[in-house]
């Protein structure tokens, strides 16, 4: 965990008035963890929450780094996997924190992927009515999406992310070097969210990704640092304008997600990684937009070509379109029985669209098989 490429470090500000914070992005910069934390927290007591995979890889060493700098540290390890985003695990963490004497002078640090970030953030938001919180995201998905913007939460049986809060961190420390140990399937799933930013917000970025496929595949640190920073900047700009998803602007980040959630549910959440489902969902959304005359076939192909170049599947598993449509109507984003889709009208721009005919949705699903 040495600072291999210290010159690559970039700092990005998320401007949210008194909840503003920095995202520091680099390669090898976990070596700066204790000074990063000290600059942002008026305390020397930290709870590090991680999972069983990330603990031996990174969290244990980060804990040692803090101890060497004079901090009191407790390391809490949950099982790796989505099942840890549960009321039982949250409750176990609250009880352990009580036993360890955690109070409002303690900072909670999430070291892991989106599961750990969402869970630790939720525990930080709720324990003692809110503790300071820092994110160290270690998956690509967490670095470009879940660690930024303050959505934290846990699942109820059968209802993903149903209990949660908006709880902004004091800071986010991103080291792209940790992606070296990430399984390739997880890395590729995170790339779906990267492509999503290009489609929804930035056509030039989409073009850049097309040109950098080989460097992305090789996990080139310079290229990855720039890509992760750009995604964080795009997300930060959306969050700054619609922190609590009340104006509809933040909803653009859900491009492809209505289809993706149905695909994940149809596979009982065990068949596809979230990002894999998002890649397929983006293809369905593009096909729906084409059917509604919002984009042409070249758009659908351009998006699918990049996803395929990044080794993401663009055709659906063998679920019945009627079943997928039924699952879509059970999504928590359905309001008053109305399905809403985020649909493109050109590369780099999307809109929220209601009143989509079920027959068009079914046709888009059939065309995507
Ligand atoms: P994850 O946290 O389960 O991590 C995937 C796997 O990779 C886990 O087994 C983990 O232990 C392992 N891992 C993590 N970092 C590693 C590394 N550097 N090297 C080796 N292994 C590593 O999954 P995820 O895809 O990061 O996150 C998914 C979660 O994020 C979902 O629960 C989803 O709801 C949530 N999410 C939240 C938001 C938000 O805005 N809060 C946005 C998107 C997704
Ligand atoms: N991942 C969607 C959001 O943060 O709003």
Characterise 66 by phi-psi region: left (phi > 0), alpha (psi -120 to 50), beta (else): alpha
User: Mean per-residue pLDDT for 89-98?
Assistant: 98
Question: Is the model's pLDDT at 34 over the cut of 90?
Answer: yes
pLDDT band of 338, cuts 50, 70, 90 = confident
Could you identify the atom of ligand 2 that is nearest to the CA of residue 238? 5
Beta strands in the chain, from DSSP E residues, in sequence order: 5-14, 21-27, 45-51, 72-78, 106-112, 133-137, 151-156, 159-166, 171-175, 341-346, 349-353
The residue that leads in pLDDT, 118 or 5, is 118
Q: Which of 258, 267, 209, 270 is nearest to 82 (CA)?
A: 270
Output the CA 124–ligand 1 centroid distance in Å. 18
pTM: 0.96
pLDDT band of 2, cuts 50, 70, 90 = very low
Beta strand 159-166 with 151-156 is: antiparallel
Ligand 2 binding pocket, CB closer than 6 Å? 145, 149, 151, 250, 253
The residue that leads in pLDDT, 271 or 14, is 14
At 5 the pLDDT is: 52
Please report the domains of the chain, with CATH numbers, ordered by start residue: 10-181 (3.40.50.1970), 184-367 (1.20.1090.10)
Output the CA 112–ligand 1 centroid distance in Å. 7
Distance CA 351, CA 345 (A): 8
- Cβ–ligand 1 contact at 256 (below 6 Å): no
- Cβ–ligand 1 contact at 110 (below 6 Å): no
Q: Which of 255, 108, 273, 134 is nearest to 196 (CA)?
A: 255
Structure tokens at 34: 């204790």
Distance CA 160, CA 217 (A): 31
Could you identify the atom of ligand 1 that is nearest to the CA of residue 51? 11
Distance CA 364, CA 358 (A): 10
Distances (CA, A) of 91 to 120, 127, 302: 11, 10, 46
At 181 the pLDDT is: 98
Q: Which residue owns the Cα nearest ligand 1 atom 19? A: 182
At 355 the pLDDT is: 85
- Cβ–ligand 1 contact at 207 (below 6 Å): no
User: Mean per-residue pLDDT for 190-202?
Assistant: 98
Q: What percent of the chain has pLDDT over 90?
A: 88
- Could you report the per-residue pLDDT of 207-216, keeping only the tens digit for each? 999 999 999 9
- Cβ–ligand 1 contact at 257 (below 6 Å): no
Structure tokens at 68: 């060497």
The string of DSSP letters for 95-150 reads: HHHHHTT--TTEEEEEEESHHHHHHHHHHHHHGGG---EEEEE-SHHIIIIITSS-
Residues designated as active site: 129, 151, 193, 235, 245, 250, 254, 257, 261, 274
- Could you report the per-residue pLDDT of 275-294, keeping only the tens digit for each? 999 999 999 999 999 999 99
Q: Which residue owns the Cα nearest ligand 2 atom 2? A: 253
- Could you report the per-residue pLDDT of 123-137, keeping only the tens digit for each? 999 999 999 999 999
**Which of 16, 166, 244, 250 to mutate to test ligand 2, by most ligand atoms within 8 A of the CB atom?**
250
> Are 135 and 151 a contacting pair, CB within 8 Å?
no
Could you identify the atom of ligand 2 that is nearest to the CA of residue 235? 4
At 335 the pLDDT is: 74
Give the closest ligand to the alpha carbon of residue 242: 2
- Cβ–ligand 1 contact at 175 (below 6 Å): no
Output the CA 165–ligand 1 centroid distance in Å. 18
- Cβ–ligand 1 contact at 165 (below 6 Å): no
**Those residues with Cβ within 8 angstroms of residue 13's Cβ, 6 or more apart along the chain or in another chain:** 20, 21, 22, 23, 236
Give the closest ligand to the alpha carbon of residue 111: 1
pLDDT band of 159, cuts 50, 70, 90 = confident
Question: Is the model's pLDDT at 7 over the cut of 70?
Answer: no
Output the CA 313–ligand 1 centroid distance in Å. 19
Q: What percent of the chain has pLDDT over 70?
A: 98
């Amino acid at each position: 965990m040495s600072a291999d490429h210290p010159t690559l470090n970039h700092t990005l500000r998320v401007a949210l008035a008194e909840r503003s914070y920095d995202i520091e992005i680099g390669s090898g910069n976990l070596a700066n963890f204790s000074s990063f934390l000290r600059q942002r927290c008026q305390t020397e007591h930290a709870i590090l929450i991680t999972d069983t995979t990330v603990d031996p890889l990174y969290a244990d060493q980060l804990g040692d780094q803090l101890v060497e700098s004079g901090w009191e540290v407790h390391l809490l390890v949950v099982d790796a996997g989505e099942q840890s985003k549960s009321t039982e695990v949250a409750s176990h963490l609250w009880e352990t924190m009580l036993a360890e004497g955690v109070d409002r002078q303690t900072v909670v640090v999430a070291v892991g992927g989106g599961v750990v970030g969402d869970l630790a953030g939720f525990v930080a938001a709720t324990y003692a009515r809110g503790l300071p919180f820092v994110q160290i995201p270690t998956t690509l998905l967490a670095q470009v999406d879940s660690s930024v913007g303050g959505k934290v939460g846990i699942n109820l049986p059968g209802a993903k992310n149903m209990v949660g809060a908006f709880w902004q961190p004091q800071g986010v420390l991103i080291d792209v070097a940790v992606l070296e140990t990430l399984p390739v399937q997880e890395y590729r799933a995170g790339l779906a969210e990267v492509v999503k930013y290009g489609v929804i917000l930035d056509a030039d970025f989409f073009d850049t990704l097309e040109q950098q496929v080989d460097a992305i595949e090789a996990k080139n640190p310079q290229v990855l640092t720039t890509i992760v920073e750009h995604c964080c900047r795009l997300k930060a700009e959306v969050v700054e304008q619609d922190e609590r998803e009340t104006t509809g602007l933040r909803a653009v980040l859900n491009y492809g997600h209505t289809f993706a959630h149905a695909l994940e549910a149809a596979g009982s959440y065990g068949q596809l990684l979230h990002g894999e489902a998002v890649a397929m969902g983006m293809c369905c959304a593009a096909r729906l937009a084409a059917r509604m005359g919002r984009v042409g076939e070249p758009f659908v192909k351009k998006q699918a070509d990049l996803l395929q170049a990044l080794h993401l599947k663009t055709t659906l598993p063998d679920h019945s379109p009627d079943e997928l449509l039924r699952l879509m109507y059970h999504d928590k984003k359905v309001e008053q029985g109305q399905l809403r889709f985020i649909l493109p009208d050109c590369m780099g721009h999307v809109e929220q669209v209601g009143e989509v005919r079920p027959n068009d949705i079914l046709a888009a699903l059939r065309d995507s098989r």
